[in-house]
Each structure stands twice: as structure tokens, then as C-alpha cells.
Amino acid sequence: MAYDWLKGIEDHYDIVVIGSGLGGLTGANVLAKCGHKVLLLEHHYQLGGLATWFTRKGGHIFDISLHGFPIGMIKSIRKYWSQDIADSIVQLKGVRFINPQFQIDTTFDREDFTRQLIEKFQVPAETVARFFTDLRAMNFYDNSQETTGEMFARYFPGRDDVQRLLMEPIAYANGSTLDDPAITFGIVFSNFMSKGVYTFQGGSDVLIKKMATQLKANGVEVRKHVVVEKVLTEERDGRKQVIGVVANGRTIRCDVVLSNANIKSTVLRLTGEESFSPEFVAQTKAVRVNSSSCQVYLGIRKGETLPHIGDLVFTSEEPVFSSEKLVDLHTTSRTFSMYYPDTRPGSDRYTVVVSINAKYDDWNNLTPEQYAAEKQRLIDESIASLEKYIPDVRGKIEWMEAATPRTIERYTRHWAGTSFGTKFEGLKVSMDLPVQLPGLYHAGSVGIIMSGWLGTINYGVIVANQIDKALAAKKRAAAAVA
Amino acid sequence: MTKDDCKKLVIDIISDIAPDEDLTAIKPEIKLRDQLQLDSMDFLDIVMELRKRHGIEVPETDYGQLASLESCAEYLTPKFAQKS
């Protein structure tokens, strides 16, 4: 008989969390600290969602998510996790751009960008200052219809080089395009510009293990290898509400489900259309999932070293920036995440993770032979590109492999293998969920602004607050009756 | 509970949320955001702590009432009184 991954769990929890991405993990931790009984279920054998890692023989450790986030992470990690984890956050100072329009080295903060925009790009100082100040004042509820492309045209007309400098890194951070609402660029860009780019010293493995330890200390029951098949609902007082989940074939009762799965999966697959109004189902179906990513992982042989060529290197051979070209199957745009030994103190190893934006449909309709060939092409092109900056790198590579949108789909179960959640309209569906079906909440990558390391953590807290509020009201009502 | 007691409780919460801030010289009538490095997530934390520590619920539409220490006291003191 197969091992029972749910062995010893209780019959009822206040909250069942589906999925252990950063939103699910953080939501679970905050709710447990509020005194609720929480069960967290993850289908994979490892926690973290896309904030994860894998190991390969030869001592290689590869981090998955682009290892750069804004300084706001220090505060969020300290408040919702611990000072200890926050203390391991360090700045990545070497951000580079190499493309046919310009080559620059930057610390990727407002001060340095202001200097470069004025000196190198010859933009008037007043325009640069106004751009930064206006962006800082953006709010997600402002309801402006302007797109990022239109906004760039307003501040920097005819300057596709400036547009590239501003847009390209954010497209890798959250999958947004020139056609998305300006706010999806503005909030994330402002967060980065505040103080630059940061990462966890020690790697994703250390981070997630520390988080798991804290979850346990706070009383969260964490189970891996558990697939949630269904969110159970029941009609009470003439209204449907959440009463539990079916996971690995077993029914677990709960008052609240916090889904860290994709929003479309949560509504259309896990819960089912029958539990919602036709209007809400239509709204959910209309939500566009965001694009996805490919990655190439290059492990350097023990004993070999690489020169310091920067921490995050944004490269492209495209003559100008184009959101369509960036996700093209044959794009020449790649970001090199360089992991030097100081990434994991005590280690003497080097790895390179190449991130390439991609479309699921380009990868999903290939024969097994085509799929293998396309993956090999990605690896070959990535190494050839890296050789321009490190000419002898090929001989130092011991391990190479590629991941595609299909890999992401397999390990995260994300709808259409997306690595960046949904477009802007997904946020409204996510936030309306508990109004549509009492007891059902969603905290996952949605709306572009609730994406990425910081966005998902903070969204997990925002939704945890709503759940805590609802459960507190329920308790007050029960006490009043008694 | 007096308004001054209420202000103390709010300062207690802020000191946990923003331990690096100097809270000794807060001007009660000035917006907290204008004198401290507080963002919208910090205000959400204040709301959560009020619920956790004191069983007080601040509806989203009233978040604006927490802008300054003075407005906090004005808004929250009656809520504390109702509770006891």
C-alpha cells in the first residue's frame, strides 16, 4: 500500500491552505500566529512554489526564481517571518545591460538611474525627476486607463532606448508588457528603484527550510505530496459555502480554504462552475493568464571559477525592445543570474541560471522529439551567448539542462504553465472570491502587481487579514448566541 | 480608557511593526505617514494587531481614521469603551 501522506491529520481545521508558494506559506504563517488551526497542503515533494531550488549530482544547487527583489522584502520578511531570515537579505550591486542600443552597469536604484538617464541618455533632469516622483505616487486603485507604453511616450517620446532600459528588467520580474496598465510597471519599478536589487544569502533552499521550521513552531500542520482534488461546498441558509476539501482522496473539513493555486484553477477546476454565478464564471474565464518562462541551468565543475561579470545581466541582440519579441520562441533576449560562491557562504561553487521569457503555446504542441530538440537549442544558444562574456566557459560546465513552461506546469500545476500569474483583471476576481463563495479565499500571483517575491508575500498577508477578520466575526457571533 | 491610554496602545503596536523608528517625538496631530516610514502594509498590520490584541475591528472604509495619533485616539477610544 502507498504511504499515507496525510497520516495523523485531524478531521477539522480552521483553515486549509492549498499550495506552498510564498503567498500560501506567508498566509499560513500569519494565520497561525493569529491563533488559528492551519493545515497547509503541497502537491510537490518540496515547498516554495516557484521560490524553490533543485540539486543535481556533482554538488550543483540551482535556484529557480530570478534572484532579485526590492528592499521592501527586508521589512515584509521581518514582520511576517523573522528577523533572522530578514538578516540574510543582501544587495546585488552588479546589474548590467548589454544590447545593441546600450551597455551599462548600474546598482538599479533611483540615484544611479537618474545619473545614467541624464548623463548617458541625455534626458533633461527635470523630466527624470518628474517621472520618478509621479511613479512613486501611483496607487493600484487609481483606475487610470493608460498603458505602460503610453506612459513612456508621454515622458520620453521617441526614446525606445530609454523605454528598453526601463521596461526590459521589469518584464523579467513580472511578465508585464508595454500594453499592460501603467500601474503594473509603476509599482514594481518604484519598489526596485527605492534602494536597488536584493537577494537571500544562502539561497532559496535555506530560506524555505527556515520558513518551514517557523511554520512548525507556530503550529501549522504542513504536508507535502498531497494533491487537493476538490474544494467542497454545501448550501447552508440558502447559500453555498466552503465546508472542506478532498485531498489524496480524503475529506478534510474546514471553515476556510485559502487557495494559493492559480485563480482560474481555483474557481474552474478545484471548486467548479456550479458553485458560482454564471457572471462570475464568465469573468473568471475571461482572465488572461500571463506569459511564462524558460530557464537554462549551467553547473560549473568543482574547482573551476568564473570571473565576476555582474549579478544580473540583461542581454539581448534585438535592435529595439519589443514585448512580443521578448516572449518569442526564438528570442535572443536572456537574463543571466550569476551565482558566485558568496551566494551560499561556505560553498566554493559557481552556477549560472539563464531566464528567457516564453509562451506556453509555443512549447505545448511539440512532439517529444521536437521538444527535446528545442530544449537542446535553448541550452546551446544560452552557452554561445554566455561565451561572449566568459570566452572559456563551455569547458567549465559540468551540468546543463533546460526548463520550459511545461516544466513549470508540471511542478506548480499553474494554469497554462504561467510563471507570472494573471493579467491585471485577475486581481478583481481573486478579491471578489469570498463574496461569491463564503469561506473561499485566494492569494496567489494575480494582477501582475501581486506577483513576484514581494507582491505574493504581501498579498498573502492582505488575504490572511480578511480571513482573520471573518473568523473573528464568526466567533463573536457564536459567543453572542451562547 | 482615556485618549492618552489609547494613544499609548497604538504606539505599542507601531513600535513592534517599525522597531527602528523613534516614536518618542511623534506629533499627535500630524499624519503618521508624514513623520514615520510607514506604508499601506504597516497600516494593515496595525488593523490586524488591534483585532488580535484588543478584539477591535476597523472596517476597511475606516482605515483613513488611523492617519494620525490624534485621529486614532478619537476613533478608537469609543471602541475600547464599548468593549468594556
* Span B3-83 CATH architecture: Orthogonal Bundle (1.10)
Put simply, whether A456 touches B (Cβ < 8 Å) is no
CB atoms within 10 A of CB B62: 13
> With contacts defined as CB-CB under 8 Å, which chain B residues touch A473?
57
Residue A318 and residue A329: Cα distance in Å, rounded? 13
Do the domain assignments include residue A389? yes
pLDDT of residue A1: 61
Strand-pairing partners, residue B18, are none
pLDDT tens profile A157-214: 999 999 999 999 999 999 999 999 999 999 999 999 999 999 999 999 999 999 999 9
pLDDT tens profile A263-275: 999 999 999 999 9
- Domain boundary, last residue among A360, A387, A412: A412
- Verify that A174 and A264 share a domain, yes or no: no
- Verify that A326 and A395 share a domain, yes or no: yes
Q: Is A472's CB within 8 Å of B57's CB?
A: yes
Provide the grid cell at A447: 494582477
pLDDT of residue A88: 95
Interface test with B, best of A75, A77, A78, A218 (most B CBs within 10 A): A75
- Verify that A305 and A278 share a domain, yes or no: no
State the residue for C-alpha cell 521560490: A51
Do the domain assignments include residue A253? yes
- Verify that A168 and A66 share a domain, yes or no: no
> With contacts defined as CB-CB under 8 Å, which chain B residues touch A72?
39
Provide the grid cell at B37: 516610514
Supply the CATH number for residue A19's domain.
3.50.50.60
Do the domain assignments include residue A203? no
Asked if B26 and B11 touch (Cβ cutoff 8 Å), the reply is: yes
Provide the grid cell at A130: 518628474
Do the domain assignments include residue A333? yes
- Verify that A126 and A169 share a domain, yes or no: yes
User: Looking at the predicted structure, is the pLDDT value of residue A318 above 80?
Assistant: yes
Residue ranges for chain B with pLDDT beneath 50:
none
pLDDT tens profile A218-274: 999 999 999 999 999 999 988 999 999 999 999 999 999 999 999 999 999 999 999
- Verify that A279 and A363 share a domain, yes or no: no
User: If you average pLDDT over every residue of chain A, what do you get?
Assistant: 96
- Domain boundary, last residue among A366, A384, A412: A412
Strand-pairing partners, residue A253, are A12, A244
- Verify that A328 and A408 share a domain, yes or no: yes
Mean pLDDT computed over A94-101: 97
Q: How many domains does one find in chain A?
A: 3
pLDDT of residue A237: 87
CB atoms within 10 A of CB A236: 10
Do the domain assignments include residue A202? no
pLDDT tier, A65 (very low <50, low <70, confident <90, very high otherwise):
confident
pLDDT tens profile A357-396: 999 999 999 999 999 999 999 999 999 999 999 999 999 9
Asked whether the whole model's pTM tops 0.90, one would answer yes
Alpha carbon of B20: minimum distance to chain A alpha carbons (Å): 11
- Verify that A298 and A407 share a domain, yes or no: yes
- Verify that A369 and A466 share a domain, yes or no: no
- Domain boundary, last residue among A195, A211, A235: A195
State the residue for C-alpha cell 508595454: A178
Mean pLDDT computed over A463-470: 98
- Verify that A296 and A407 share a domain, yes or no: yes
- Verify that A361 and A426 share a domain, yes or no: no
Structural domain for A68, as ranges = 53-91+291-412
pLDDT tens profile A402-421: 999 999 999 999 999 999 99
Mean pLDDT computed over A459-470: 98
Scan residues 11-50 of A and list those with Cβ closer than 8 Å to B: 30, 34-35
Do the domain assignments include residue A406? yes
- Verify that A260 and A340 share a domain, yes or no: no
Do the domain assignments include residue A7? no
pLDDT tens profile A1-55: 689 999 999 999 999 999 999 999 999 999 999 999 999 999 999 999 999 999 9
